[in-house]
Structures are given as structure tokens and as C-alpha cells.
């Protein structure tokens, strides 16, 4: 949806599913849509993700996004494929949303 809709103003992601995990058609595989993603994007992944390793999955996908470097961020936090540091995940996400959508008015 992020790549196909102009209504989405920013995105958050916890990575993508590599083809060894899911049998996906090329027209639905996230890798093929990454070059169309131009909006601000936050990717949050686990440092020890053995399913989608940093060097072979997270970093290549991050660089494949068409979002300008200043508007995309890749964060690795404690944990594997599912993070064990929920506070870090929440903090990174809220900081990102504040940056692009503005802080919550109180």
C-alpha cells in the first residue's frame, strides 16, 4: 500500500519477508515495491534477527527504498525477529511520528 498510494505520508516497517520465507508472486513481493517507496520510512529490526539478518536482508532492503536518505532510518534494537525491547521500539516509533506528524498536543 505504501508504494501504491499517494495518501500515505510516512511509513514504519519491521523489515520484509525474504522469498525463502513466503512463496510470493513477483508482483506482490515487497522487494519489488521498495523502489517505489519515496515517503519517510522507519525500519525497526532486531539486532539478532536470524530470519532476516542485517547484512543480507535488512540493509539491502533499506538501501533499495527510493526514499531520500534524510527521510529514512534503519534502527536495530535488542532481540531477534521479534524484539524483546518493546520500550525501544515504542520510543523509536513515537520519535519518528513526532518528527513527521508533529508532537501530540496536550
What was the pLDDT predicted at 30? 85
3-state SS record for 45-98: EECCCCCCCHHHHHHHHHHHCCCCHHHEEEEEECECCCECCHHHHHHHHHHHHH
The string of pLDDT tens digits covering residues 9-39 is 655 554 455 545 556 788 888 889 999 999 9
Q: What is the pTM of this model?
A: 0.75
Amino acid at each position: 500500500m505504501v508504494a501504491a498510494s499517494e495518501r500515505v505520508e510516512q511509513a514504519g516497517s519491521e523489515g520484509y519477508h525474504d522469498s525463502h520465507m513466503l512463496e510470493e508472486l513477483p508482483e506482490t513481493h515487497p522487494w519489488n515495491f521498495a523502489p517505489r517507496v519515496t515517503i519517510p520510512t522507519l525500519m525497526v529490526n532486531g539486532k539478532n534477527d536470524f530470519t532476516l539478518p542485517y547484512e543480507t536482508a535488512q540493509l539491502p532492503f533499506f538501501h533499495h527504498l527510493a526514499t531520500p536518505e534524510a527521510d529514512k532510518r534503519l534502527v536495530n534494537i535488542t532481540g531477534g525477529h521479534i524484539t524483546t525491547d518493546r520500550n525501544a521500539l515504542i520510543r523509536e516509533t513515537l520519535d519518528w511520528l513526532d518528527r513527521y506528524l508533529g508532537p501530540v498536543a496536550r
